[in-house]
Structure 1
Amino acid sequence: MFYVQFIEIVNMNQSYIINQLAEDREKYFHAVAPPIIQTSNFAYPTVDEFTFAIQNEKDEHIYTRGNNPTVNMLCQKMAALEGAQDCLMVGSGAAAISNSVISQVNAGDHIISVKNPYTWASHLMTKILPRFNVHTTFVDGTIFENFVNACKPETKLIYLESPNSWTFELQDLAKIANFAKKRGITTIIDNSYCTALCQKPIDFGIDLVIYSATKYYNGHSDVVAGAICGSKEKITQIFHNEFMTFGNVLAPQNAWLMLRSLRTLPIRLKQSSESTVKILDFLKKSPKIERIWYPFNDDNPQKALALEQMKMPMGMFTLALKNRDASAIKKFCETLQNFLIAVSWGGHESLIMPKCAFVSENDPQVNMVRFYIGLEEADILLEDLELSLAFL
């Protein structure tokens, strides 16, 4: 079922976007691979042309802090994949969060956010913004009424993560977007878990979609990047204010590497997703596993919503081991030969992130381990898991 759904979405002109859109090969000696315009500055032959460029910096080239041809090529592809009017590429996922959130609030405004968002989103909303009299209410996003009940006259922004990146709770995007539009509230979602191939929040009415493009979009663990996708109006507003002021630019070299990565995005997601389904089938039968968190699991109370909003399974899940002894959990993690212990996800390599690295031995979550399934052969990963589970 999942494989068929994947083929349906990939065939929707994504090949043209990834391989042809904005390439303009006739401008670059008909090169198949796009060029790296590795320059900080752009010169003009006349004062009038220079003046025009300065007055239209969002669409012209003055200084790479604002616009660069290689980066702009990537922006066009990212926006098209998302079904958005425009996109800004920034230096990290954290930069995408801070630029987009700050762009939508002023002193005295109120934010509603899902509880337990990504660490640096939480830091922004609990440590930085309160210094400027912007406060946030965190809610259980699985219940729509929580957003309604938390809303105040000064609420200007709803911040979502669907699914989040540890226990994968979802929010009803269409219902929340409809409510927010009636109240004049902007909606932002961190869609890093899904990518546009799996979920298109703009189709559900969400205003701004942000990414840690470091993850699936780059996919090779060699670039840190972020993306902000949305309407021309909102993206232009962010460009002329937060983006140009904070200077969180993506370097042309890194944009070029991401253009390279987009070529293989569909096939990388397909490999990771199919391997994940196979590995989960094995883990569900293991007596060593207490629980598995994954959007498409039959025991997930939000499975119907996942099937409605998400087009395919993705490559990350969390499990809880029955053995709660920290030393045994560490041994399980350290004996895995084909899973690296690391943060992040979305690259070619399989990863684990044990909760015991962040919490005390008596913490209720000490037995949780997050898995990302990379591009290795599924059978090799299964054999590795079987051997390491034997130590528990």
Structure 2
Amino acid sequence: MSEPKDLSYILTHLGEDRAQYFDAVIPPIVQSAMFAHPNVATMRTRVADEFSSHVYTRGQNPTVEIVAKKIAALEGAEAALMFGSGAAAMAAAALSVLRAGDEVLCVDKPYAWTRTLVKSHLQRFGVNGRLLDARDPAEVEAAITDQTRLIILESPNSLTFEQQDLVAIARIARARGIFTLLDNSFATPLGQSAIELGIDLVAHSATKYLNGHSDVLAGVVAGSEKLIRDLFHGPYMTLGAILSPHDAWLLLRGLRTLPVRLKQIAETTDTVLRYLERHPKVARVHSPWAQSYSQFGLTQQQLRHGSGLLSIELKADRVEQVDQFVDRLDRFLIAASWGGYESLVFPVAGVRNWPSLDFPASVPVGLIRFSIGLESSDVLIADLEQAFQAI
């Protein structure tokens, strides 16, 4: 895959018309709910095309637009829309192309709220949802029916990191007039160019690597201008799950350092990964870059570089041993989410029985996910070693 075009220009200058705001180096936060019009004729013109105008911040806002333009450019997309969370972005993208009587196919181990959307909420409105493994494009093709309108992908997923062959599935879908939607949060636009591979709509939890500071909830959907306009005039404006100007400004700050952060995180993660692969108390390591990873060929084909996520299965007989190991860690904070500057640990056993989350049975209860941050590999490995000694 080709690299994003002129990355430094996109992150530093694209969308930032500094002459419009006093030549300030950093764009201001346009904290306004609405925008005035010089006359009725102008108001009429702007309201007629609110996608391209400033009328009401529930539609477009100058600060939010800057971030959207940058992420669209990073993805190689024509346009993008920002949301208040990644879950909102995925739900709105799905709703924008589905209608009653349609069917959606979804990978069987997506982000928990995507799984809930497909299995529960869409069903209430007459949309049938089916989950499938999707690692084999032939399985996806065989599952398609006359009612299939959308295929939801997540490659790699964020727990056990299965991938899908995006080129093959996109080709199958387009030949049948079916839309494809990919959650690209793991790889980021720098690590995987899904639009280039043929995917129609690409979504992110921008809370993760795009922001990178664990202080903003945000989501984004990118795609062709037609699909994004349809999304804007449908679920986006109707449901109002928008990103605030202040959060957009913080996200813009995070984007500036995205390449530097990812480079450091990927290098540290590779060192930690090799340590875990050799550890006698680790039964299995899950990572697209692990030596035992069954889809390593696809990793080399689709991904440009590593990420900070990996999971392990301990050689443990009881969940209590998993708890002991996690509780002993000092440098890893016990928390959900990932992609920030800090290292985190997420034990599936700690949330497996939450009624709001629907984990597939194929996710081991003893699975422990790590999100590697910006700490040194020596510090993190020393912490892991002392925690292993506790079990």
TM normalised by structure 2 equals: 0.96
How many positions carry a matched residue from both structures? 384
Tell me if 1:14 matches 2:7: yes
1:288 maps to 281
Pick closer, same or farther for the CA change 1:57–1:374 going to 2, 3 Å: same
Structure 1 residue 30: deviation in Å? 1.2
Pick closer, same or farther for the CA change 1:324–1:358 going to 2, 3 Å: farther
Counterpart amino acid of residue 375 in structure 1: L
Structure 1 residue 324: deviation in Å? 2.8
Contact 1:283–1:289 under 8 Å retained in 2: yes
**Where do 1:96-245 residues align within 5 Å?**
96-245=89-238
Contact 1:74–1:258 under 8 Å retained in 2: yes
Tell me if 1:49 matches 2:42: yes
Hey, what's the Cα distance between the residues in 1 that align with 2:175 and 2:321?
52
Counterpart amino acid of residue 100 in structure 1: A
1:367 maps to 366
Hey, what's the Cα distance between the residues in 1 that align with 2:263 and 2:3?
11
Contact 2:160–2:363 under 8 Å retained in 1: no
Contact 1:18–1:262 under 8 Å retained in 2: yes
Hey, what's the Cα distance between the residues in 1 that align with 2:362 and 2:116?
22
Tell me if 1:64 matches 2:63: no
Q: Which runs of 5+ in 2 are unaligned?
A: 354-360
Hey, what's the Cα distance between the residues in 1 that align with 2:154 and 2:376?
30
2:343 maps to 350
Contact 1:163–1:169 under 8 Å retained in 2: yes
Contact 2:118–2:130 under 8 Å retained in 1: no
Determine which of 22, 26, 31 is the counterpart of 1:29: 22
Q: SS of the residue aligned with 1:218?
A: coil
Q: SS of the residue aligned with 2:271?
A: helix
Hey, what's the Cα distance between the residues in 2 that align with 1:15 and 1:87?
19
Hey, what's the Cα distance between the residues in 2 that align with 1:332 and 1:280?
17
Contact 2:72–2:79 under 8 Å retained in 1: yes
Hey, what's the Cα distance between the residues in 2 that align with 1:364 and 1:43?
52
Hey, what's the Cα distance between the residues in 1 that align with 2:242 and 2:32?
13
Contact 1:338–1:350 under 8 Å retained in 2: yes
Contact 1:178–1:205 under 8 Å retained in 2: yes
Q: Which runs of 5+ in 1 are unaligned?
A: none
Tell me if 1:384 matches 2:366: no
Counterpart amino acid of residue 292 in structure 1: V
After superposition, the CA RMSD in angstroms is: 1.5
Q: SS of the residue aligned with 1:331?
A: helix
Which stretch has the larger CA shift, 350-359 or 84-93?
350-359
Counterpart amino acid of residue 372 in structure 2: I
Q: SS of the residue aligned with 2:208?
A: helix
2:80 maps to 87
CA distances 1:311-355 after superposition (whole Å, capped 9, x unpaired):
001110100000232222112111111100010000111001012
Structure 1 residue 364: deviation in Å? 8.1
Structure 1 residue 363: deviation in Å? 10
Structure 1 residue 204: deviation in Å? 0.6
Contact 1:113–1:137 under 8 Å retained in 2: yes
Contact 1:322–1:367 under 8 Å retained in 2: no
Determine which of 234, 239, 245 is the counterpart of 1:252: 245
| Percent identity over paired residues | 44
Moved over 6 A (4+): none
Q: SS of the residue aligned with 2:330?
A: coil
2:358 maps to none
Which stretch has the larger CA shift, 136-145 or 77-86?
136-145
Determine which of 250, 272, 283 is the counterpart of 1:279: 272
TM normalised by structure 1 equals: 0.96
